Structure 1
Amino acid sequence: MEIHLKIIGYMLIVLALIHIAFPTYFNWKKELNQLSLMNKQMMVVHTFFIALTVFLMGVIFVVGGKDLIETNLGKKMMFGFAIFWSIRLFMQLFVYSPKLWKGKTFETFIHIFFTCFWIYVTTVTWSIFFK
């Protein structure tokens, strides 16, 4: 199970680093200009902290996998991670509109890839908690 945490951890680190490209890829300079200053800054700050959280979670999975699996505190942390990733999977399936990806090759690939990834992360975290 530790190998699964390392795989997930490295993938989360990569995902966090991909957030660096979000402002350019999503054309935030133009898109966010339509928002109030408060909403614009919340978008930027929250995206930074989401990326930081995902990065640090990835680091914890990579360097602390054994402790997450074998210790009482680790099991409690896995419970929290399992809830977090279960909610993220729910959002992927039921909150994002299919209009964002249906009929678009790249976006459909990304949607399917991340749906599978969130299922994998959710399954691993819950299985460690219940082990």
Structure 2
Amino acid sequence: MTTSGGGASASALDTRWEGHLTALCALQDAAQPLTAALGRWLRTQRRQAAAGSIRRDRRAALDRRVPGWDSADDPALRRWLVQAEDLINFVDLAGRMPGARRGPDEARMYRWLSRARTLSRHSKLSKNRVKVLDKGLPGWREAA
């Protein structure tokens, strides 16, 4: 089946869209910056979401695979994501959770993680933020 005007078939467009999503996830998993093309694609998805014109299945796929994808323009979320990434990188390098008395940077990460745990226990941490921590930092909810 082709679209009117002889364009690409719906399944070909879906395959192309899924390819973009898979490439985006691969870059995120590898902690690599977005390419210009994927950045444009993601901005298009955000614009469609803001306008209410994104397909439900596509929004669900983005929500599931790219937590926080539709809020990148939110400065508070951006700061939170940077702090989460700092913590995840620290744990990857140090092989342990941060300690409260191991220097100012580590103490800051310790306080941030403690707050995230408290918010999560009281169901006040958004599902997308929980997904980010669950994916990047398994076991983050457990206090040392």
Higher relative contact order (CA closer than 8 Å, sequence separation 6+): 1
Q: TM-score range by the shorter chain?
A: 0.3 to 0.5
Q: Which structure's residues are more often helix, by fraction?
A: 1
With the length of structure 2 as denominator, give the TM-score of the two structures.
Answer: 0.34
Structure index of larger Rg: 2
